Amino acid sequence: MPDATPTDAQALALLALATAVSDERRARRFLDVTGIETVELRARAADPVILAALIRFLEAHEPDLVAVAAAIGVDPQALVAARRELEQ
């Protein structure tokens, strides 16, 4: 049975996801860019692929990356490192 405990990277990315989608404009852009539907996002929110995609989305627009990182109290590079870990 796989370990269901989130890694630090997953936990950080989940925080970033919750923060990112709390902004309606940013959430709509993320859904539009990725093509993911709201229902699928809810169902797969803890999926490392989705979490890495969210951080890549933030990285593509630095003001979003910086804003989300500040909102969750981490350096933007911590999110980049989390994405790298999730993609391994």
- What digits encode the pLDDT tens for the residues 24-45? 999 999 999 999 999 999 999 9
Question: Cα separations (Å) of 80 from 19, 56, 73, 77, 83?
Answer: 16, 8, 14, 5, 5
Residue 7 has a pLDDT of: 66
User: What is the value of pTM for the model shown?
Assistant: 0.88
What are the boundaries of each domain within the chain? 8-86
Contact status, residue 74 vs residue 36, Cβ threshold 8 Å: no
Residue 62 has a pLDDT of: 96
- What digits encode the pLDDT tens for the residues 41-59? 999 999 999 999 999 999 9
